[in-house]
Amino acid sequence: MEALPEEIKKLLVVTIDREDISIDDLNNDTLLFEGGLELDSIDALELAVAIQVKYGFKIDPEADDVQTHFKTVASLTALIASNNN
């Protein structure tokens, strides 16, 4: 079985579908927004939907900690791991 961070990286690359980003460009500390991949709100929405479909839990966009969860590959991994029990 593939390690969860690698799954997240692949999901991220496939979901945002930008030619300038490959899985080799990503590490666990890669910032998803400012100062990193520079994702926008549409990318975030598409990523949230992809995570919800693949891992079977709902992400509340109004939650106070949603920005924290979408900060890096590692924070996304932690979110999925904590909801995938």
- Would you state the pLDDT for residue 77? 94
Helix extents (H) in 1-85:
4-16, 41-55, 66-69, 73-83
- Would you state the pLDDT for residue 63? 86
The low-confidence residues of the chain, meaning pLDDT below 50, are: 1
CB crowding 49-68: b at 16 or more within 10 Å, else e: eebeeebeeebeeeeeeeee
pTM for this entry: 0.87
Domains and CATH numbers, the chain: 4-83 (1.10.1200.10)
- Would you state the pLDDT for residue 7? 93
- Would you state the pLDDT for residue 85? 63
- Would you state the pLDDT for residue 84? 76
- Would you state the pLDDT for residue 62? 85
- Would you state the pLDDT for residue 2? 62
